[in-house]
Structure 1
Amino acid sequence: MKKLLFAVIAITCFASCDDGDIIVTSFDFEEQTLERCSDFEAQFVFFKINPANNETIALAFTTGNDIFGAGNGEEASRTLEIELNGNDNITYRRFDAAPTSDYFCNPIPPATPIVVEEFVSTSGDITIITEGVFADSDGIASDIEDPTGLLDTDGDSLPNIIDFDDDGDNVPTGQEGVVLNSDGTINTELTRDTDGDGIFDYLDNDDDNDGVLTINEDANMDLDPSNDNSDPDNEILDDYLNPMVTTSVNTEAYRLHTYSFNDIIIIINTQNLDFRNQNGEEVIRDIRTVPFGTFEGTPDATFTITPDF
């Protein structure tokens, strides 16, 4: 229910309050799951249903911002502020029977159940926070690869946590012999260091220490040094891992990179809400910052980019 405190005060107010009286209280749907409608192109609709009390609370708003994506692909958390007015509002309703999500997600609400009590916000503010985790498909968790999220080993403007080629040699990190422990940390004994210089191959731009950068040991110039082998006496080692091969080409481009924004959640808070009932006679006000709910289950967002060389 709206909260027992609210229900008691509201009933009292219906009997004794006139226009302009203010009740400071809150709507309580903390135990209900936040749902959303996905079929409306121009408007976002989030709602909670409490079937035990035949009541709902719904937030509807319009924005040109993509709150479900990853924005510019660089921020793991971003915030959007929206002022409620007009068709952007929060509506509390109590029905004569428990509604379903179809009530909110159809362009024309069904005739039943019937609304027996309604309060609609006339003003207020909402804060929408989008949070997620970046991943670059290199097999190393971001918090292991770089807890700061700022390390950019190859200087290509992509932090290692979203760079699938951390050393900029055009050989993906996932192909450079990284071995993980059971807890996801780097196994320093088994992870490959071809030239034994103390720098793992996935962070070494000259893996065999032959003086030729790995990115330039790409004889067929297809931006993939891992498929070039020109030593007839050693068919096992590709040129970039073979110190006996020092042929160099002039490569001036990085490979196409793909990374994703995962585990996206939408956190919605409300503040300074004013509500009026369906007759416009009673006012309810909640000036606090109150969690409206957290929405989970947003599909991962994928980004494709070629870093500047």
Structure 2
Amino acid sequence: MKKFLSAIIAIYCLTSCDDGDIIVTSFDFEEQTLERCTDFESQFVFFKINPDNNESIALSFTTTEDIFGAGDGMEATRETSIQLSGNDNITYRRFDNTVTSDYFCNPIPPATPIVVEEFISADGDITVFTSGTYADSDGIPSDTEDPTGLQDTDGDSIPDILDFDDDGDNVPTAQEGVVLNDDDTINTELTRDTDGDGIFDYLDNDDDNDGVLTINEDANMDLDPSNDNSDPDNESLDDYLNPAFTGTVNTQAFREHSYFLNDIIITINTQNLDFRNQNGEEVIRDIRTVIFGEFTGTPSATFTTTPTF
């Protein structure tokens, strides 16, 4: 953080300065990796270490928002805003020796190394951006399933690209015989169309065209038609694929759905930072929007919901 530290020394403001004075400085941690502590239940701690200068910069904040969660699937990028004050702050420290992640990730920091320079933010704004790639893990790539991302075959308010049961028949798409070509397009010759009506089973709410919706061919009423076989003459064929069996129940619920946010990226921006040294005699203000860093250490998150029937 040579640039940042030299800026502090060169243009710091004593407490006698006018509060309207704005000093713009720069953080010099661009080449350092943003790390995160995972041991704190309600507090997020992100930090960067510059070993060449025995210095660090750390962000600590609390929020009720699950910044590592999958969200509701409706936003490609979610924003969480935090106003820094009190224990929610950014701290710059320079040490007398090498510092490691243990210093930040212990409830009580170790006695060494010793802090020889410290600036703590008194005010500031933080914006946390959560982004990634949504998927329903039904075996069909989203671009193949629906390039627009707007199609909702069963009208359950979950788009097909996030719906593990695209036709709403309570049989997961992954179990309905979808076959892909090498280029991830649908193989129209091999993908299952039990009743031959030109609608693949994974998009057909009456797979055997017997006049009974697949969702209602659920004899044991466990919301899973794929484990019901009531025809003694054809024990290898499930009821929902057997046109000779037309037994019906009145199903009034969809199965629980899960989808996933993969390759999560957390991007943190800072703005309007106001730093003070230990005795409050030196002030640094930075009004710019600056990227604090990107964190990619969380591979995926799961969102679970049950669509309204």
Same fold by TM-score greater than 0.5: yes
Unpaired segments ≥5 residues, structure 1: none
Aligned residue identity for 1:30: E
Task: Write the distance in 2 (CA, Å) between the matches of 1:287 and 1:248.
Answer: 66
What is the match of residue 117 of structure 1? 117
Find the counterpart in structure 1 of residue 9 from structure 2: 11
Paired with 1:195 and 1:252, the residues of 2 have a C-alpha distance of: 25
Could you tell me which residue of structure 2 aligns to residue 26 of structure 1? Answer: 26
Which consecutive unaligned segments of at least 5 residues does structure 2 have?
none
Indicate the larger mover: 28-37 or 246-255: 246-255
C-alpha displacement of 1:234:
4.0
Aligned-residue Cα RMSD (Å) equals 2.4
- In the TM superposition, 1:78-93 aligns within 5 A as 78-93=78-93
The answer to whether structure 1 residue 269 and structure 2 residue 269 are counterparts is yes
Residues 22 and 283 in structure 1, CA contact (< 8 A), matched pair in contact too? no
**Residues 69, 303 of structure 2: 8 Å contact kept:** no
CA gap of 1:2–1:121, structure 2 versus 1, over 3 A, is farther
Identity of aligned residues (%): 79
Question: Which 10-residue stretch deviates more, 221-230 or 155-164?
Answer: 221-230
Deviations 1:130-177 (A, max 9, x none): 223333231123343233333221112222233211101111101100
Partner of 2:164: 164
Q: Decide whether aligned partners of structure 1 residues 251 and 12 sit closer, same or farther in structure 2, where only a CA change above 3 A counts.
A: closer
Any residues of structure 2 matched to 1:1-309 within 5 Å, and which?
A: 1-3=1-3, 6-13=4-11, 18-19=14-15, 20=17, 22-72=22-72, 74-298=74-298, 300-309=300-309
Moved more, 232-241 or 123-132: 232-241
Distance (Å, rounded) in 1 between the aligned partners of 2:9 and 2:275: 15
**What is the CA deviation profile of residues 84-136 of structure 1, one whole-angstrom value per residue up to 9, with x for unaligned ones?**
12222111111121200111111221121122222221221110112233332
What number of residue pairs does the alignment pair up? 305
CA distance in 2, matches of 1:225, 1:106: 51
**Normalization by structure 1: what TM-score?**
0.88
Q: CA deviation at 1:283?
A: 2.4
Instruction: State the TM-score, normalizing by the size of structure 2.
Output: 0.88
- CA pair 104-145 structure 1, distance change in 2 beyond 3 A: same
Note the C-alpha offset of 1:34: 1.0
| Distance of aligned partners of 1:250 and 1:301 in 2 relative to their CA distance in 1, 3 Å threshold | same
Matched-pair contact (CA < 8 Å) for 1:70–1:76: no
